[in-house]
């Protein structure tokens, strides 16, 4: 690694740390000003301050703000220490944006579909899709693993561990 790339990386890293600290600081301020008063119901009479339901949230938010400020000052004034993983984090997949979207779509399928078509079918669909996304092209593996493994795991959960899984519209057939 040449001197210049090290310096560019350090500058990028420092900018990222400053951005992170500034965002955290802003978030803690917003949280303290709006989210806590809106999200925590405080009873009318509280004898001692620590007994209030809002006490700990305020305390924690304040502490987060202070540490974010420290981090910000550190990132601005002290030399940047490259983290170990920074180098490795750069080799993103060439089509990572479309892959992220696909992944989000598949995760949403896992969240929304089981109530409609049942957990078994959902897991088969997503597993096959992910196998294909991971680069698997052999139909035997795609279909074999994609169907048999979800089925076995499903049977284990429902029959051995006695955990009921969503059946979706299959419920009406049974």
Closest approach of Cβ 144 to other proteins, in Å? Answer: 10
Q: Which of residues 3-32 bind other proteins (CB under 8 A)?
A: 16, 20, 24
Q: How many residues does the chain have?
A: 174
Q: Which of residues 94-113 bind other proteins (CB under 8 A)?
A: 94, 96, 99-100, 102-103, 107, 110-111
Pick between residue 29 and residue 165 the one whose CB is nearest to other proteins: 165
* 118 scored as a contact of other proteins (CB under 8 A): no
Out of 4, 5, 47, 139, the only residue in the binding site for other proteins (CB under 8 A) is 47
What distance in Å separates the CA atoms of residue 72 and residue 157, rounded to the nearest whole number?
48
Closest approach of Cβ 27 to other proteins, in Å? Answer: 10
**Which residues are CB-neighbours of 37 under 8 A, at least 6 positions away?**
54
- Asked whether 101 and 136 are in contact (CB, 8 A), the reply is no
**Paired tokens of 122:** 């959902």
- Please name which of 38, 32, 34, 33 lies closest in space to residue 57, comparing C-alpha atoms: 32
**Residues touching other proteins: how many (CB under 8 A)?**
75
Out of 1, 4, 51, 77, the only residue in the binding site for other proteins (CB under 8 A) is 51
């Amino acid at each position: 690694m040449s001197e210049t790339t090290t310096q560019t990386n350090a500058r990028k890293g420092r900018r990222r740390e400053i951005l992170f600290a500034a965002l955290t600081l802003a978030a803690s301020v917003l949280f303290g000003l709006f989210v806590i008063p809106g999200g925590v119901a405080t009873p009318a009479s509280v004898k001692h301050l620590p007994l209030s339901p809002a006490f700990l949230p305020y305390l924690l938010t304040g502490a987060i703000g202070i540490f974010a400020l420290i981090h910000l000052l550190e990132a601005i004034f002290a030399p940047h220490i490259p983290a170990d993983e920074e180098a490795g984090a750069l080799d993103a997949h060439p089509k990572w944006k479309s892959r992220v979207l696909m992944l989000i779509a598949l995760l949403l399928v896992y969240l929304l579909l089981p109530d409609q078509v049942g957990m078994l079918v959902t897991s088969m669909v997503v597993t096959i899709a992910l196998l294909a996304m991971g680069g698997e092209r052999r139909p035997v593996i795609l279909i074999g693993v994609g169907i048999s493994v979800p089925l076995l795991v499903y049977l284990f959960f429902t029959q051995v561990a006695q955990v009921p899984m969503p059946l979706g519209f299959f419920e009406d057939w049974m």
